[in-house]
Every structure is written in structure tokens, then in C-alpha cells.
Chains A and B, each alone.
Chain A
Amino acid sequence: MSEEMVTVNMTVNGENVTKTIPVRMHLVDFVRTELGFTGSHLGCEHGVCGACSVRVDGDVVRGCLILAAQAEGAEVVTIEGLTDTGEISDLQDKFVERNALQCGFCTPGMLMTAAELLAQKSDMSREDIREFMSGNYCRCTGYHAIVDAIESVNNTRLKG
């Protein structure tokens, strides 16, 4: 079977992009290899680890479980774009302060998921936060510090 190609057009981190790619290419390979946004990491490549989390039309999704072709016309935001907007600069500072990353491989995915949690603006217990973040693996097992950082920022934002 020959490689079927498709031309896709979408907005990635605020910029309009048009590329012709294999139909079987998933979104994370697309942003990493075609656009050079290597902040989205490819871990398990079957939807378990969460390192590839990106935002599509406002919702965090598994970048390895959506074809780039399916993002036609969509608004895609990766950790690079999210960082540029400053939406989670407080959370990123808190990750550093609380030592919420060790090797850092899971961090972009953790931040993408936590951004959706913070956007809900709801009072959350540590248990709620753990449940919300349960789809993201940290193989350094630094969960405690990650929950610390998210809890701290969520509480501060709700007060402010």
C-alpha cells in the first residue's frame, strides 16, 4: 500500500500552518517533526502516559491519539504556545519552586493537563487534583511535589 498524503491547514500556537503529510501521522509527530515544537513529548504512544498532551480547540487531548489530519481547521496549542501566552506562568514558577520536576520528561504534559484544571476555577482537594491528573505519568514518581504546586496555584488563584 502506498503512503497516502493529505494537505492540512490549522492554527498552531497562533500561527496558521499548511503542510502536506502522510494521513497516518499523529498530531504530536506533526508538531514535533513538521513544525519543530518539541516540547510535546512522545512517551508510550498509545494514550497511557500523557506526556504528549496538547490542546485542541480549547480541550487538552492525547496528541498521540489524534491524527494530524483530524486537526484540520483546528486551533492547536502546545506547551510552547501556552508558555508564550503567560496563562500558566505562575504554575511554571511554582513547579520550579516546589521541585515538581526531576527529569522533566512528563512536565509539558503535566502542565497542559494542570492548565485545564486551573481554568475550571473550582475548589479542589488534593484528592480531586490527583484524580484530575491521574492520566499523566511521572516515571520519576514526583507526584507529591506536582500536586503541591498545582494545589498552591489553584488556591492562590481562587483567593485572588
Chain B
Amino acid sequence: MKAPKFSYTRATSLDHALELLDKHGEDGRILAGGQSLMPTLNMRLSQPEMLIDINGLDELKGISLDGDTVCIGALTRHVEVMNSDIVAEHLPLIAEAMPHVAHVAIRNRGTIGGSVALADPAAEMPACILALGATLVVQGTGGKREIPAEEFFHGLYETARAENELLVEIRIPSQKADKVSVFLELARRHGDFAIAGIAAYGSVSGNTVNDMRLVYFASEDKPTIGTNAIAALNGKTWSDETREAVSAALESDLEPMMNLHGSAAMKLHLQKVLTGRAMDTAVARAGGAA
């Protein structure tokens, strides 16, 4: 289908974009990479009055290192994150996840900020930044504020960002050399929306797991920390017994949404399978016997 009628303005500066957002409120929509917004327009699932195109705002692009923190501008495209030496060295979890983010042509256009701000439950980046304890920087006409990833994702496409705020930067602590990370997802076709997925980050020392954070996505309405699974895992030796205990605990963490990709029971099963594979991989990467 064709998109409904709307007005379109190219923001010429960050201040200009924020003024437009302030003015149009819920009738305005930020157009970043457009790889999620454009389909909803073409299918007439959304009908904003004003599209505010921020693609010209170079100040929102780029990846840099600030001490132990990797700073990624919200308008940085997936392909740049994927090819970044800084990301490869300091954020191996995100480097591992990037090939799963859609397809080549979409990664060339889509942005990390768009993915995080939209908060699609099947998206990879929200889960990764939650696993790594990132901070989101949002800005309105009144100034900036920082929101921890743990407090950012509220539900299906719902975040702590106010309507008149723009996500401008994602600040992610560099992964520690003595920790390991694993990213896994299951999708029908490579690059399609995930059916189940996990981002794991923590320590494994001689098969004993510590400070492991497990974040699940695609099955829930938002990226979800597996609190009970983590409690059953940390401090334990990774064994068949631990695997079963973690699987059982995961049942009280997740309430999978059923959809075209499968039932709630199937998704819960897949998340359990991925948890086992993720920990097998984590142990192997840490140099232990998987």
C-alpha cells in the first residue's frame, strides 16, 4: 500500500528537531533510519501528521570511546556498528549480535537509536544494551537526562522516553576482559524477526558461573532479565543439574506472547534451549570444559 498523507520536515539542527518534537507532540514522529517506521506507514498502521527527518544531524552519528564507556550516537547506522573496531574490541556481545539485525540493505539504513527507541520486543539491540547495563541519553528542549537501560524499556513499544524527547546517545560500559558474553537467537530466516533470543554477560571461572546476566527477548513484550534463572545459576558449577534448575527457574521469569511464530509453550521451550546453549558456549569461551 501507499503511505497516508503526512507533512515532512528536515530537521536542520538538534535544537530544530527538539522544537519540532515539542510543537507536534504525539502527532509528530521521528524519522531516523525509517526501517520500522516506513513499513508501518506503507501498511497504514500509523498515521503521524508530521515526520521529523533527523538524518541530516551529523552530531548524532558516530562511535567513540570515553574512558571505559563506548558512546554510540543514536543516528549511527547498524552497518557502522557492525564494522566498528571499537565495538569489536570493547563490545563483543554487540558485535556478535549485529549479523542477526535484519539484512544487509536494512542495516545500511537502520540506526541503533531507532531500534532502541522503538523497543520492538524482537529487536536485538535493546536486549544487548540491557545485558551490558547501558545508559540512554535523551534530550528535550529542557535539557538532557540519563536513563539506565533497566528503567528504559516499559513494554510493547513503550519506553521511558517522553514524547518530546529524542534519544541522542547510548553509553555502554566496555566489556570486562575477565567476563564472557554470548548472543544467540532463533529466527525462521536469517535476519528475520527473532522467535526467541538471549544475550548473556558474566564471569565463568573453572566452570563456576558468577555475575551472569541473562536477558531474554522476542518472547516477551520487552527485553526481560531472567531474575530467577540468574539466581539459580550464579555461584553454581555449570552442570546438568544446574541446567535443569535454571530451566525450571526460567518458567517464573518469562510469560511468552504467542504469535504467528509459535505458542507460548514453544517459545518458553526455545528460551530454555537457548539458555543451555548460551551457557555451554560461555563456559567454552571462558576456557572451561563445555
A and B from one complex: yes
Please give the residue numbers on chain A whose beta carbons come within 8 Å of chain B beta carbons, in ascending order: 1-4, 6, 22-24, 26, 29, 45-47, 50, 53, 59-62, 64-67, 69-70, 72, 113, 116, 130-132, 134-136
Q: Are B7 and A4 in contact (CB under 8 A)?
A: yes
Contact of A64 among B8, B38, B99 (CB under 8 A): B38
Given A47-B106, A50-B103, A134-B190, also A65-B38 (CB < 8 A): yes
Listed A/B pairs (15) with beta-carbon separation below 8 Å = A1-B49, A4-B5, A4-B7, A45-B1, A46-B39, A47-B39, A53-B105, A64-B38, A66-B34, A67-B34, A67-B38, A70-B31, A70-B53, A113-B104, A134-B190
| 9 tightest Cβ-Cβ pairs between the two chains A and B | A135-B103, A46-B39, A23-B8, A59-B108, A65-B38, A134-B190, A24-B3, A1-B5, A61-B109
Q: Are B104 and A132 in contact (CB under 8 A)?
A: yes
Q: How many cross-chain pairs have Cβ atoms below 8 Å apart between A and B?
A: 98
Query: Which residue of chain A has the shortest Cβ distance to B102 in the bound complex?
Result: A135
Per-residue CB contact flags for chain B residues 169-195 toward chain A (1 = under 8 Å, else 0) read 000000000000000000001110000
A1 to chain B, nearest CB (A): 5
A26 to chain B, nearest CB (A): 7
A23 surroundings in chain B (CB, below 8 A): 6-8, 51
Given A47-B39, A65-B34, A65-B38, also A24-B103 (CB < 8 A): no
A29 surroundings in chain B (CB, below 8 A): 2
Q: A45-B42, A46-B43, A61-B109 are in contact. List 7 more A-B contacts (CB 8 A).
A: A24-B5, A62-B106, A65-B35, A65-B109, A131-B190, A135-B104, A135-B191
Q: Which of B102-144 contact A (CB under 8 A)?
A: 102-106, 108-109
Q: Are A4 and B6 in contact (CB under 8 A)?
A: yes
Query: Which residue of chain A has the shortest Cβ distance to B99 in the bound complex?
Result: A131
B4 surroundings in chain A (CB, below 8 A): 24
Q: Are A24 and B6 in contact (CB under 8 A)?
A: yes
A140 to chain B, nearest CB (A): 17
Given A24-B2, A26-B42, also A62-B8 (CB < 8 A): no
Query: Which residue, of B5, B10, B38, has the highest number of chain A Cβ atoms within 10 A?
Result: B38
Given A24-B2, A45-B42, A64-B42, also A70-B55 (CB < 8 A): yes
A59 surroundings in chain B (CB, below 8 A): 79, 105, 108-109
B43 surroundings in chain A (CB, below 8 A): 46
B51 surroundings in chain A (CB, below 8 A): 23, 67
Given A24-B3, A47-B35, also A69-B8 (CB < 8 A): yes
Query: Which residue, of A59, A60, A62, A132, has the highest number of chain B Cβ atoms within 10 A?
Result: A62
Q: Are A50 and B105 in contact (CB under 8 A)?
A: yes
**Cα–Cα, bound, A78→B163 (Å):** 37
Contact of B35 among A1, A26, A62 (CB under 8 A): A62
**Cα–Cα, bound, A26→B3 (Å):** 9
B189 surroundings in chain A (CB, below 8 A): 134
Query: Which residue of chain B has the shortest Cβ distance to A65 in the bound complex?
Result: B38
Given A2-B5, A23-B6, also A135-B38 (CB < 8 A): no
Q: Are A116 and B35 in contact (CB under 8 A)?
A: no
Contact of B38 among A60, A66, A116 (CB under 8 A): A66
A6 surroundings in chain B (CB, below 8 A): 8
**Cα–Cα, bound, A113→B108 (Å):** 11
